[in-house]
Amino acid sequence: MGFGVPTYNFSDQVALGTVSGVIPVFKYGYNDEVGTSEEAIWSSGGAYTGFISAAEFVEVSSTSSSDAAAGVGLRQTMIFGLGYDLRAQHETVTLNGLSAVTTKKRFFRVYRMTNTASGTNEKNVGTVSAVGATSGNKLAEMPAAYGQTEMCVYAVPLGSKAVLTGLLLESDVAKLIDVRFNVAYIDPDTKLRRFAIGSRLGASGGVSNLDADPGVVVAGPADVWLSGIAASGASNYASAQLVGKEYSIA
């Protein structure tokens, strides 16, 4: 019996959390009805409304009373995003059904909510929303029964750089959609945004897998999101995945 030479897979080690200062980027989402006006690839549909101009407290609620501390659905969710200082932060929120629960921290961006505790249903029964307490804008949404947000929206924090290396697109085979890769840099002092990249990735019908080598580097703080426009003149389903790595540089 021979012994093979052990191999070191950097991406696997990043995913396992064994590489200091590097975390994986894996953002995915869908939009059931992308229309002829530009819409973000997120489950809420329409333009993304989470690009707020100042950090604010976030109110989390569900459309179902079963998503609560002692309910059968989602009991706790962890919110991921950027804080008032544009650096990465997260917070765990215990749900209270239809009644909004306010975070203890202020968020400038929210790009993910996950299921950290649930009842016998194992996932959220209703749609769980994170809404800015001041602006009233929806920042993130967890669709019913998904247990995770479905939004191809990401925020690179201050002191980090993201290297984006892969993109998977899917739409109805019989229809076409123009998908766009967008980046806007955020001024750390004024919080004003500077739109930098609006690359049109072309019309996709079916499944398209795009790889970037070398990857696209985005220095934080910055917003990254995918959007789409139905090219056929009719509403169209679209989903996307964006992958890469985020490196801490400061």
The 10s digit of each residue's pLDDT in 214-223 is: 789 999 999 9
pLDDT, residue 205, reads 65
Between residues 169 and 152, which one has the greater pLDDT?
152
In a domain, 148, yes or no: no
In a domain, 193, yes or no: yes
Q: Which token pair is 46?
A: 């329409």
Q: Are 110 and 130 in contact (CB under 8 A)?
A: yes
**Percent of the chain residues topping a pLDDT of 70:** 90
Whether pLDDT at 237 is above 90: no
pLDDT, residue 63, reads 98
pLDDT, residue 232, reads 64
In a domain, 106, yes or no: yes
- Does 105 lie in the same domain as 86? yes
- Does 224 lie in the same domain as 107? no
pLDDT, residue 13, reads 85
**Percent of the chain residues topping a pLDDT of 90:** 68
Q: Which of 41, 34, 28 is nearest to 227 (CA)?
A: 41
Read off the pLDDT band of 54 (50, 70, 90).
Answer: very high
Task: From 115, 142, 169, give the residue that closes a domain.
Answer: 142
Q: Which domain holds residue 98?
A: 56-142
The 10s digit of each residue's pLDDT in 8-36 is: 788 888 888 888 899 999 999 999 988 88
In a domain, 243, yes or no: yes
| Residues linked to residue 170 through DSSP beta bridges, in sequence order | 207, 239
Q: What is the total count of domains within the chain?
A: 2
Q: For the domain that residue 181 is a member of, what is the CATH number?
A: 2.60.120
- Does 81 lie in the same domain as 30? no
Task: From 76, 109, 142, give the residue that closes a domain.
Answer: 142
Distances (CA, A) of 115 to 26, 74, 98, 121, 234: 16, 7, 17, 12, 34
Q: What is the mean pLDDT of the chain?
A: 91
In a domain, 1, yes or no: no
Q: Give the Cα separation of 135 and 37 in Å (integer).
A: 24
Between residues 121 and 172, which one has the greater pLDDT?
121
Whether pLDDT at 2 is above 70: no
| Residues linked to residue 163 through DSSP beta bridges, in sequence order | 217, 245
- Rounded to a whole number of angstroms, the CA Rg of the chain reads 19
Task: From 142, 175, 191, give the residue that closes a domain.
Answer: 142
Q: Give the Cα separation of 112 and 129 in Å (integer).
A: 11
CA torsion 114-158-46-229 (nearest 10°) is -120
Between residues 116 and 12, which one has the greater pLDDT?
116
**CA 26 from chain center: how many Å?**
8
Whether pLDDT at 5 is above 60: no
Residue given tokens 């426009």 in the structure block: 229
- Overall average pLDDT of the 138-160 stretch: 97
- Overall average pLDDT of the 188-213 stretch: 77
In a domain, 232, yes or no: yes
Between residues 207 and 77, which one has the greater pLDDT?
77
Read off the pLDDT band of 3 (50, 70, 90).
Answer: low
In a domain, 8, yes or no: no
Q: Give the Cα separation of 89 and 110 in Å (integer).
A: 9
Q: Give the Cα separation of 5 and 222 in Å (integer).
A: 41
Q: Are 91 and 104 in contact (CB under 8 A)?
A: yes
- Does 223 lie in the same domain as 196? yes
